[in-house]
Amino acid sequence: MIEPLKQQKNYKESIQFIDLKSQLERIRPEIDAAIKRVLDHGVFIMGPEVYELEKELASFCGVKHAISCANGTDALGLGLMAQNVGPGDAIFLPSFTFAATAEVVAWVGATPIFIDSLENTYNMDPQSLEQGIHRAKELGLNPVGIIPVDLFGQPADYDVIQSIAEEHRLWIMADGAQSFGASYRGRKVGNIGHISTTSFFPAKPLGCYGDGGAIFTNDDNLAQIMKSLRVHGQGSDKYDNIRIGMNGRLDTIQAAILLEKLKVFPDELLARQRTANHYNEALKEIVQVPYVLDGATSAWAQYTIRLPKHKDRAKLMAELKEVNIPTMVYYVKPLHQQTAYKHYPTATGGALPVCEALAEKVMSLPMSGYVDKRSQEYINSQISELLK
Ligand SMILES: *Cc1c(COP(=O)(O)O)cnc(C)c1O
């Protein structure tokens, strides 16, 4: 019997939403060697790679302290613990974000106040923030801090948020889980706010092969407290506990992997920007393409389009799936409408119209540092065709 010729895998059948496979293929020998080094020296917790990574991250961002930790959620949690946030305190954050941003506020018994998003960048709306601060005071809460989120990879508008923070004596902890590698008016993400955090979850712009995260600050005192909190509130040695902390360390193996990934990261950021440019060119007349602020860059964690009101998103996503183009929706439901969070206050005391509208019409397209030209053209032409 003659077998049919095995077809070579077609690029049209192998488009990944986030192409981690091509990245691994590119750096496989370096990753294998890095993991082997850790297996050989055997210091799996707080090994030399952890400290080396922290040095590299700090220099990459131009910030004084980079503190690695177990994941992006713990990074936020450690920041709140270091700022002594507790019951009666109000923390302001966008509703249109991943649950972790609000979750950590609830962990420490404080009250998240949900803020609406801007129509253009989808990041925190400064006017809504002011309204939220007013609202918190009306509710008898003590406003203490703001957690702007750099949604989809683009920094929030920190100059404007900073001036509101100063007026009300609030600190800023920037949730840069999606924006590591991006910049805002000459500053890298990580060097913004009193504290910045990021995540190295595999699908983030800089991801490891498991969970990981980091906290950044220029404040020596906060850095020292967060390092202590990360290891059960340790004092001068391991069995000296001077505060209540947690186990929030990054594994040495993940640090070793990140050191290798960091080497190709600048190149990947350029590739992500090129992919975003291609999408922009092809799609700007038919959908709302991402808007990046003057003086800012995005790390393009997601390339997110917004469909016109009359377009059926579910139908479009199903049609794209038919032609092997994966898409995702971030986020189907803003946090102030989620079961776990809907009892917390919003800036308006009710609906947050912009983020509610966004949740219905946004969708994200394949994005990574490895979208090849043919796939890119194929995706562009399919979307243009389907949205005609
Ligand atoms: C991914 C993410 C987090 C949490 O990071 P983990 O490493 O998954 O804990 C926090 N905030 C935002 C905005 C995120 O996208």
Q: Which ligand 1 atom sits closest to the C-alpha of 178?
A: 15
Nearest-atom number in ligand 1 for the CA of 73 is 9
- Residue 165 near residue 159, CB atoms below 8 Å: no
Q: How confident is the model at residue 166 (pLDDT cuts 50, 70, 90)?
A: very high
Q: Give yes or no for residue 78 CB within 6 A of ligand 1.
A: no
Q: Which of 19-33, 141-155, 233-247, 322-336 is the least confident region?
A: 233-247
- Measured by CA distance, the residue closest to atom 6 of ligand 1 is 72
- The answer to whether 326 and 17 have CB atoms below 8 angstroms apart is yes
Which of 18, 71, 73 has most ligand 1 atoms within 8 Å of its beta carbon, as the pocket-test mutant?
Answer: 73
Predicted local distance difference test score (pLDDT) of residue 9:
55
Q: Is the pLDDT of residue 11 over 90?
A: no
Q: Rounded to 10 degrees, what is the CA torsion of 276, 278, 280, 286?
A: -130
Report CA(378)–ligand 1 centroid distance (Å): 31
98 lines ligand 1 (CB under 6 A): yes
List all residues 6 or more positions away from 29 whose beta carbon is below 8 Å from its beta carbon.
Answer: none
CA dihedral 191→201→85→88, nearest 10 degrees, is 120
Query: What pLDDT, in 10s, does the model give residues 185-228?
Result: 999 999 999 999 999 999 999 999 999 999 999 999 999 999 99
Residue 1 pLDDT grade (very low, low, confident, very high; cuts 50, 70, 90): very low
Q: What distance in angstroms lies between residue 189's CA and the mean position of ligand 1's atoms? A: 15
Residue 150: exposure state from Cβ atoms within 10 A (0-12, 13-18, ≥19): buried
**Where are the domains positioned within the chain?**
11-18+266-386, 27-259
pLDDT digits (tens, 9 = 90+) for 64-104: 999 999 999 999 999 999 999 999 999 999 999 999 999 99
Average pLDDT, the chain: 96
Pocket test for ligand 1, best of 199, 211, 330 (most atoms within 8 A of CB): 199
- For the stretch 142-157, pLDDT in tens is 999 999 999 999 999 9
Asked if 193 and 158 count as a contact pair (C-beta separation under 8 A), the reply is: yes
- The confidence score (pLDDT) of residue 236 equals 87
Query: Which amino acid residue places its CA nearest to atom 10 of ligand 1?
Result: 100
Query: Does 198 contact ligand 1 (Cβ within 6 A)?
Result: no
pLDDT at 10 over 80: no
Instruction: Give pLDDT tens digits for 337-376.
Output: 999 999 999 999 999 999 999 999 999 999 999 999 999 9
The residues pairing with 217 across neighbouring beta strands, listed in sequence order, are 65
DSSP reduced 3-state for 304: strand
Which has the closest alpha carbon to 147: 169, 163, 171?
171
- How would DSSP label each residue in 41-77? H---BS-HHHHHHHHHHHHHHT-SEEEEES-HHHHHH
Residue 154 sits at φ, ψ, to 5 deg, of -100, 130
Question: pLDDT digit string (tens) for 90-100?
Answer: 999 999 999 99
Q: How far away, in angstroms, is 54 Cα from ligand 1 center?
A: 19
Whether ligand 1 lies within 6 angstroms of the CB of 175 is answered as yes
Determine the atom of ligand 1 nearest the C-alpha atom of 97.
13
**Nearest-angstrom CA–CA distance, 155 and 30:** 31
87 C-alpha vs ligand 1 centroid, how far in Å? 23
Kindly give the number of the ligand 1 atom that is closest to the alpha carbon of 204: 1
Q: Which atom of ligand 1 is nearest to the CA of 211?
A: 7
Residue of 97, 147, 150, 178 to test ligand 1 pocket, by largest number of atoms within 8 Å of CB = 178
pLDDT digits (tens, 9 = 90+) for 254-301: 999 999 999 999 999 999 999 999 999 999 999 999 999 999 999 999
Q: What pLDDT, on the 0 to 100 scale, is given for residue 6?
A: 44
- The pairing of strands 195-199 and 213-217 is antiparallel
How much distance in Å is there from the Cα of 234 to the middle of ligand 1? Answer: 26
Question: Tokens 């609406």 map to which residue?
Answer: 116
Identify the pLDDT of residue 368.
97
DSSP 153-180: GPPP-HHHHHHHHHHTT-EEEEE-TTTT
Q: Look up residue 22 and give its two tokens.
A: 């091509």
Distance in Å, CA 177 to ligand 1 centroid: 5
Report domain 11-18+266-386's class.
alpha beta
pLDDT of residue 7: 45
Q: Which atom of ligand 1 is the closest one to the Cα of 100?
A: 10
Distance CA 186, CA 179 (A): 15
Section 46-51 average pLDDT: 98
State the pLDDT confidence band at 31, using cuts at 50, 70 and 90. very high
Q: Which numeric CATH code is attached to 27-259? A: 3.40.640.10
Give yes or no for residue 71 CB within 6 A of ligand 1: yes
Ligand 1 centre from 210 Cα, in Å?
Answer: 13
To test the pocket of ligand 1, the residue of 95, 189, 201 to mutate (highest count of ligand atoms within 8 Å of its CB) is: 201
Amino acid at 187: R
